[in-house]
Structure 1
Amino acid sequence: MKEIKIALVGQPNVGKSHLINSISGATLHVGNFSGVTVEKKEVEFERGGVKLKLIDLPGTYSFHAYTPEEEVTKKFLLNEEYDLILNVVDSNQLEKNLTFTWQLADLQKPMVVAFNMYDEFARGGGEIDTDRFYKLTNIMAQNVSAKENFGLEELFEKVIKTYELKNTPKVYYSELVEEQVENLKKVVKECRFSKRFIAIRLLEDDEDVYKIVHEKVWFSDLLPVLKKAKDILRGEYDEEDTKTILFEERYALSKGMVTQIAKRPKKETLTEKIDKILIHPILGLPLFLLIMWAIFQATFSLGAIPMDYIGKGFESFANYIGSLLPSGIVKDAITQGVIPAVGAVVMFLPNILILFLGINLLEQTGYMARAAYVMDGVLKRFGLQGRAFIPLVTGFGCSVPAYMAARTLKNPKDRLITMLVIGFMSCGARLPVYVLLVSAFFPKEIQGNVMFAIYIGGALTGLVVAKVLRAVLFKGEPEPFVMELPKYRFPKLKSLLFDLWIKTKLYLQKAGTFIAVASLLIWVLSSFPRAEIIKKYENMPQTPQLQAKMHKEILENSYLARIGKLMEPITKPLDLGWREDVSLMAGLAAKENIVSTMAVLYGNGSSNSKTLIENIKKSLPFTAAVAMIIVIMFYSPCLAAMSTFWAEVPQWAWRLFYTVYPNVFAYFAALLAVSLIKLFGA
């Protein structure tokens, strides 16, 4: 019996596995591809007296492979024996999916296209003319629905017919690109691939193809022709990366093909109507910034309402605990150290929850993917790709999951650059410190705008640093960005509330354990040694003024003061004192520690937010507040985040670079800001 070996290929989530499962009477074999732990599915069945053997290859977006799964697909298509390619395409994502179809067509192998999920596309009145597609590309195609078992028999009839006719694709790019391809084909000699495929892959700097042709005797003749072809393309397209040029060619071809073969659903969907506004080429970016500005305004204005109530609640709690405990060190440590410090951290919980709620709403409604699409052009100018937007925005919540989210970036250079600048996105733990300092030093009517400026300023600085890193350490262009835009959907209230509850629980656990222990340690270090100073004041009338004077003297001579004063020569140009120095040091463990430490050092044992803010305002010059905000924006994240980066990046050189450079950058950025303020007399 005649056997046809078919490579089943497509981008992720196009329904290849569903198609295999829909083939009735099929025999499924599951194993692993040779040398890798990637699942291999093979299906055998008969149609029209012919044995069909399908090998389901892992989903891949293009021949530029970065993950092990994509590498498996590429190696199979380049090195294994097969008779025909069956390319599965999502009918609802034609432009995106067809960019890979044209790459497969370059192989010049017999090929059939299955327009899957056609039932969804047709439901709204959409149509795909497969006969027209065949006339334009010489590739037979069939509209199918693996879900509803629609069109599968006709599909495999066309598979058998294509195999018998030995049909190969006839897909062409622009005249300029085709001219360079033809020039290269004249130099390419014997090879197991078509001359066209070799020429195009060399134009795209495909290392695997380079290795294949490198040993050929005609390779030296090829190099000057290849260089000239690339120079011509770069000059005509004003683009250095030839991979990007070919990607744009394929995307333009996809858009043109869709206008020729597809009839869109007659009725414009709600998603399409909204997208006309939110991802508009001119309005998209301003609207995104406006949405983010509104979130930060709400974070500050609404979050400020419960602050006083929470502060008064902790103050009452401290008085109540104080009434139960006998006078002494334990009472002072709990009522003047632990409770005020924990209260200072907890009172900013509403601000954090509002910020998280805003980000969650963007994610659940489907807007976050649009924001990534809108930001792609901006990020590319700074050496990043659009997909980097997701881990960067995640960094506004917490750096730990942001570093993990960077795994979605397939290119190692793109991934590392993104991870090196995630720290510039101010995480939720820094928010309480910003609120504290902004409340103390800026008028109420502009506090929300200042907060927005801090977050956007940090993000923009991160982009500039990414640009420098790309130019100096990671030369080359970021990968082209392809991402599915999901339909808009109403957020689920239950899901939102559950997520906020989890974040509240984790935050309170952290405040009640780690922050409480840290603040107790800070109080002890700031309250000892004290015996001689207490002895000095014990015979004097114990007035509030004398108590404050004694407390100040104890603090100035404490172990904590001695530690902080060791750093004063370094931070003096920033107008920072030893209190700010030890607060920033404590922030390396967890950024919330900065607030709890300042509450111990400036709060005078009070849990009242207004008292703390007033004391900081009296004690700190404006330049010091600005310097502190800038240092917090840019210096190293918490130990948990740093540990995650080290776990994700195995190279020691990059680990050490990541550990050092944010702190150096933060210092000089703060020094510049302080110098400018003094220069202009602010």
Structure 2
Amino acid sequence: MEKKKITIALAGNPNVGKTTLFNAITGARQHVGNWPGVTVEKKTGKRTYKDTEIEVVDLPGTYSLTAYSIDEVVARDYVVEEKPDVVVQIVDATNLERNLYLTTQLMELGSRVVIALNMWDLAESRGDEIDTRKMEDFLEIPVVKTVANRAEGIDALLEEVVREADKGEHHEHEVSYGDDIEKKIIELEKIVGKDSALSGKYPVRWLSVKLLDGDENILEKIEGSSVATQVNSVLSTIKKEDYEAAMAEKRYETINTVLPQVCVKCIKGVTFSDMIDRAVTNKYLGIPIFLAMMWAAFEVTFTVATPLMEFVDMFFGWLAGVVAGSITNPVLGSLLGDGIVAGVGAVMIFLPNILLLFLMISLLEDSGYMARAAFVMDKLMYKIGLNGRSFIPLLMGFGCNVPAIMATRTIEDEKDRLVTILVNPFISCGARLPVYLMLAGAFFGRQAGSVIFGIYILGIIVAILSAKLIRGTVLKGKPSPFIMELPPYRLPTLKASAIHMWEKGSIYLKKAGTIILAGVVFVWLLSAIPAPGVDAAFASEEILGTEDSLIGVLGHIIEPLVAPLGFDWKVAVALVFGFIAKEIVIGSMGVLYGTGEDEDALAEILTAGAMNPLTALGLMVFTLLYVPCIACVGVVKKETGSWKWTLFMVAYGTTLAWIAAFLIYRIGTAIGWGL
């Protein structure tokens, strides 16, 4: 018997546990891509429940179906255009009033809705008593209690989803907007109903409501229709702002009529979250607490990962030796052992650090603290010409600048968004971490963790000052106001945080198996080919990684540009290949200095005279600030739609990197530090 197939969409406000619920439903059967035509992340997954195969689509967070940001447009358009069999709205049980606003709009649209009343345990622990049976009766929507981070209520939710999908006729529920507004709705319904293309695709009343709501996206759809002139004639007789406010008020009136009857004891007093917030959002303590949190994360990352790094180092050292020694052809043995295994191994050594850093950040995100960090930083962000919403993509940059730049689509103001994109590459991504770890470990010993923390803080400072400069010159204007709802604190689960860590860490692994692998092999090939006029065999010991190879010629061409910074030709080559992926910097240095994946051997060569603490610090700062990886440059071009801004970002960052490294080397040399 063939299984039934249905599609469900997970919708809800930001920070209601939507992604956690998605993970609980789908487990490992997930696929991440992009929505067609945009770079907003699209998550889909599958789950078989009894005799039904369920495709689950995780929609971007949205507060309503009146779309403003790109994320909200994507979420709304999927529900409206694709018409999933069931929309599962995840509702925060501790904040019913705010969450049910989206419910009223889904009801008006006529969507089949099942409410997942999430974080039920938190509501119960603070004394709330929500009568889900009455809630179902009033809303005419199934309501299921869930605790997503413990996977509680999942089977009951899927049972209701399948039952709702199997129901016959379904109708939209109407919110009464009062006589004056209702007359305009009826007038627009009559006009819109004349266009069969519109009336056949969308509920006519819903279209009329959205037109009075001032929904720009719906107005654009009407402009190309046969009834555009008549619709615009009606709309010209009203003040859209007044109607939008009045309609929002009526929706809240409907919600507030229902709430006292379904929530018989909802505590509005001071909560545990409120008490913590008095400290972490305090105008004097907030920023120091945030810095202390991040410093602790880096210290834990560096300290705990050290024995794991040693294990990975030993494994790849053994593997490189086995591969090189078991192949009789010396060229092929060198390529596989010294090039591929050693090159990728030099990068994989840092995987424990990167996974631990992602885990620390995931724990802070899942606890609800990161939303507070954005709130705390809003005042500072406003002073530099941005708002608190820009802080979230900047914070995401600690993982990877590519998805962080994509995340700027939630920023409504175009100037805010563009400035955030341009300064995001200064936030130090996980790909740069191997460079910091190797150099800081070699030259700064016990202070390595603090030095790396300082590099990350420097990136934040440069991003802030650059945003201030750009906002004050080429992109003048005041930032848009920032409104953000703070989620309640939650005890993060290791499973959920581990999933988030793996989602980000797997990107690093994929790069190690593709881009980084190709990069280090290319570096090895250039280091193995004799330069023109040099009489030596390919990949021979007297050629491999020396000045007589092609890569040596390339390095000496570039060397004059970086010599004032104290860098030699080998570092110059490593930085050039770092444009492919920053992780290649260490792999390239391993090949060029002839140490392969042996990090200790590379550190010995560097500390023995190839570098000093000044040049090591300068190289770390240069790696932080100069042109980001090719993937990052590509996404900047795609998101800005402009080569002008993309090239500006590349030139500005690289110039800044050169100046900073130059000052570190020259001033440090003048005062005799680190020599």
* TM-score (structure 1 length as normaliser): 0.62
Is 1:557 equivalent to 2:548 in the alignment?
A: yes
Q: In structure 1, what residue type is equivalent to 2:554?
A: I
Structure 2 counterpart of 1:394, from 383, 393, 396: 396
Change in CA separation of 1:269 and 1:569 when aligned onto 2, cut-off 3 Å: same
Is 1:334 equivalent to 2:336 in the alignment?
A: yes
Structure 2 counterpart of 1:324, from 326, 329, 336: 326
Is 1:617 equivalent to 2:607 in the alignment?
A: yes
Q: 1:571 aligns to what?
A: 562
Is 1:639 equivalent to 2:594 in the alignment?
A: no
Residues 446-525 of structure 1 correspond to what in structure 2 (within 5 A)?
A: 446-525=447-526
Q: In structure 1, what residue type is equivalent to 2:296?
A: A
Q: 1:86 aligns to what?
A: none
Change in CA separation of 1:60 and 1:447 when aligned onto 2, cut-off 3 Å: closer
Q: Is the 8 A contact 2:633 2:646 kept in 1?
A: no
Distance 2:281 2:672 in 1: 43
Q: Is the 8 A contact 1:627 1:673 kept in 2?
A: yes
Q: 1:526 aligns to what?
A: 527
Q: In structure 2, what residue type is equivalent to 1:667?
A: W
Q: 1:30 aligns to what?
A: none
Q: CA deviation at 1:270?
A: 2.5
Percentage of pairs with the same residue: 36
Distance 2:596 2:359 in 1: 30
Q: Determine helix, strand or coil for the equivalent of 1:354.
A: helix
Q: Determine helix, strand or coil for the equivalent of 2:514.
A: helix
Change in CA separation of 1:322 and 1:574 when aligned onto 2, cut-off 3 Å: same
Q: In structure 1, what residue type is equivalent to 2:287?
A: L
Q: Is the 8 A contact 1:335 1:605 kept in 2?
A: no
Change in CA separation of 1:637 and 1:158 when aligned onto 2, cut-off 3 Å: closer
Distance 2:512 2:98 in 1: 50
Change in CA separation of 1:125 and 1:162 when aligned onto 2, cut-off 3 Å: farther
**Structure with max Cα Rg:** 1
Residues 198-347 of structure 1 correspond to what in structure 2 (within 5 A)?
A: 265=267, 268-347=270-349
* TM-score (structure 2 length as normaliser): 0.62
Q: Is the 8 A contact 1:308 1:609 kept in 2?
A: no
List per-residue Cα deviations over 1:26-60 (Å, max 9, x = no partner): xxxxxxxxxxxxxxxxxxxxxxxxxxxxxxxx988
Change in CA separation of 1:625 and 1:413 when aligned onto 2, cut-off 3 Å: same
Q: Is the 8 A contact 2:399 2:504 kept in 1?
A: no
Distance 2:475 2:100 in 1: 29
Q: CA deviation at 1:363?
A: 1.4
Q: 1:360 aligns to what?
A: 362
Q: 2:410 aligns to what?
A: 408
Q: 1:674 aligns to what?
A: 665
Q: 2:446 aligns to what?
A: 445
Change in CA separation of 1:288 and 1:562 when aligned onto 2, cut-off 3 Å: same
Distance 2:66 2:473 in 1: 27
Q: Is the 8 A contact 1:526 1:559 kept in 2?
A: yes
Q: 1:588 aligns to what?
A: 579
List per-residue Cα deviations over 1:466-509 (Å, max 9, x = no partner): 00111111212111110111122222333333333444444333
Is 1:600 equivalent to 2:602 in the alignment?
A: no
Q: In structure 2, what residue type is equivalent to 1:284?
A: G
Q: Determine helix, strand or coil for the equivalent of 1:265.
A: coil
Change in CA separation of 1:14 and 1:394 when aligned onto 2, cut-off 3 Å: closer
Distance 1:474 1:675 in 2: 33
Q: 1:137 aligns to what?
A: none
Distance 2:574 2:629 in 1: 13
Change in CA separation of 1:323 and 1:271 when aligned onto 2, cut-off 3 Å: same
Consecutive unaligned residues in structure 2, runs of 5 or more: 1-11, 17-60, 77-92, 102-116, 142-172, 183-259
Structure 2 counterpart of 1:431, from 433, 438, 444: 433
Change in CA separation of 1:626 and 1:646 when aligned onto 2, cut-off 3 Å: same
Distance 1:611 1:374 in 2: 44
List per-residue Cα deviations over 1:364-399 (Å, max 9, x = no partner): 111111111111112112111101111001111001
RMSD over aligned CA atoms reads 4.7
Change in CA separation of 1:326 and 1:68 when aligned onto 2, cut-off 3 Å: closer
Q: In structure 2, what residue type is equivalent to 1:470?
A: R
Q: In structure 1, what residue type is equivalent to 2:591?
A: V
Q: In structure 2, what residue type is equivalent to 1:433?
A: V
Q: Is the 8 A contact 1:344 1:599 kept in 2?
A: yes
Q: Is the 8 A contact 2:281 2:376 kept in 1?
A: yes
Q: Is the 8 A contact 2:14 2:63 kept in 1?
A: no
Q: CA deviation at 1:661?
A: 1.6
Q: In structure 2, what residue type is equivalent to 1:642?
A: V
Q: In structure 1, what residue type is equivalent to 2:285?
A: L
Change in CA separation of 1:158 and 1:388 when aligned onto 2, cut-off 3 Å: closer
Q: Is the 8 A contact 2:374 2:389 kept in 1?
A: yes
Q: 2:421 aligns to what?
A: 419
Q: CA deviation at 1:419?
A: 0.4
Q: CA deviation at 1:274?
A: 2.4
